[in-house]
Amino acid sequence: MSQISPNNALPWKIRGLLLIRDQGLLALFIAIVIVFAFWGAPYFLTLPTGISILNAAAIASIFAAGVAVGIMTGVLDLSVPGTAALAGVVTGRLLQEGLPVGLAIMCGLLMGLLVGVVNAVVVLRGFNPLIVTIAMLSVLSGASLLIAGSYNISGLTQLVFMGTRTYFGIPAPVYIAVVLFVILTVFLKFTRGGTRLLAVGGSAEAARRVGIAVNWYRILGFAISGLCAALGGIVTAAYITTAVPSASVGTVFTAMTAVALAGVPFVGGRGSLPRVGLGVIVVATISAGLLLAKVPADWSSVVTGVLLVGGLGLNMWTTNTTSKLLLASGDDGAKRGTR
């Protein structure tokens, strides 16, 4: 057995690359805050702006959490906007029908869970997950419009408690996002189920060989994704007290940007949810910063797209370079061992 380097320590270059991969996003966030502190002065670096950014990020982060868990499981769930629209509309319609708020919300969440499970079951039959989730997006978009009669379901003031209401000065969606992220992070990092879920995402075949029930974990991944999408849809409906039946494809784009920025590889197997949360905050910060700096809104979209490609590029570069350096270090160690 050859050691990679003495004392089990990784070479400084590799440690540096891993630091960039793991903490680069935090550095980017700090840099963005500093830039906008001057550019968007005097309004950017204020508590109300911070809370507003957190609020905007909270809703997007709920979607991002679902997309991230899907990706970590090895699947990009593109049906998220449709699931969100359906969950919002179902909840809205049930509230209109006079159902208790809690029950209506539970039904909306159940819809998301069901969508996730149906997606998974179809994918397990051997269909391409991308095609399945795109098809599901189409089905759900139509279903939402049918249920809503093509019109927004407005006046959902029963949901204000989880939309615009603040608790201790912090808007409700922020609490919901934090609770969701804590639960999912604990699950992924500290439970056997979470570890197995990531193992299935990393290599389904390897997981199968060690006796993990791969199919059930893939269903679980899709179910979590669907549940998060439904929660996001309901929180969005609560935020604007209106359930909009049209699927907002932009939500997936923002979520994917955050996931890419967080360094979650799109091939699955690993990733950090707190970093996904930070990724969403970065996107929301840029959007708010450009708005307060009076930059035309189209630039926000351009910057977000550039960030998406940049995040993916950085992730690919650090991963590839680290692998090469590790291989080179291994070779050196082996050579030293044979001397």
Partner 1 sequence: MKNTRALTVAGAALAASLLTLPGCAASGEAVSKPAGSAGAESKGEIAFFTPSSQIDVVAALADGVVEYFEGEGYTVTIQDANFDAVKQAQQIQQAIDTHSIVGAWIMPVAPETAAQSLATLQAAKIPAVVEGPPMSVGLEGPQPGIAFDEPDFLKYGTMIGDTAAKCAVDGEGREALFLMPPDAAGGTEQVIGAIEDSFAAGAPDVPIAATGEAADIASAQTTVSQLLIANPDANVIIAASDETALGAAGAFKAANKTPACIVAGGGGDAAVAALEAGDITSVVSWDYSSAVGEAGADLIRMISDPTSLGGIIETPVKATGGN
Q: Cβ distance 13 to 325 under 8 Å?
A: yes
Comparing CB distances to partner 1, the nearer of 23 and 138 is 138
Closest contact distance (angstroms) between CB of 133 and partner 1 is 14
The nearest distance, CB 301 to partner 1, in angstroms, is: 8
Minimum CB–partner distance for residue 264 and partner 1 (Å): 24
Nearer to partner 1 among residue 20 and residue 292 (C-beta) = 292
Query: What's the rounded Cα separation, in Å, for the pair 184 and 221?
Result: 11
Toward partner 1, which CB reaches closer, 76 or 219? Answer: 219
The token duo for 70 is 């899907």
Nearest approach, Cβ of 203 to partner 1 (angstroms)?
A: 20
CB of 240 vs partner 1, minimal distance in Å: 4
Residue type, 206: A
CB nearer to partner 1: pick between 94 and 162: 94
Q: What residue ranges bind partner 1 (CB under 8 A)? A: 40, 43, 46, 48-49, 52, 55-56, 59, 86, 90, 93-94, 97, 107, 110-111, 114-115, 117-118, 121-122, 124-125, 143, 145-152, 154-155, 164, 171, 213, 215, 219, 236, 239-242, 244-246, 248, 250, 288, 291-292, 294, 296-298
Nearer to partner 1, 10 or 122 (CB): 122
DSSP conformation class of 11: P
State the number of CA atoms in the 13 A half-sphere of 140 facing the CB. Answer: 34
**Distance of alpha carbon 173 from alpha carbon 182, whole angstroms:** 14
How far apart, in whole angstroms, are the C-alpha atoms of residue 139 and residue 281? Answer: 31
Q: Which is nearer to partner 1, 307 or 312 (CB)?
A: 307
User: How are beta strands 153-154 and 170-171 bridged, if at all?
Assistant: unpaired
The pair phi, psi for residue 153, each rounded to 5°, is -100, 105
Nearest distance from residue 228's CB to partner 1, in Å?
Answer: 17
Burial environment of residue 175 by CB neighbours within 10 A (0 to 12, 13 to 18, 19 or more) = middle
Decide if 222 contacts 116 (C-beta within 8 A). Answer: yes
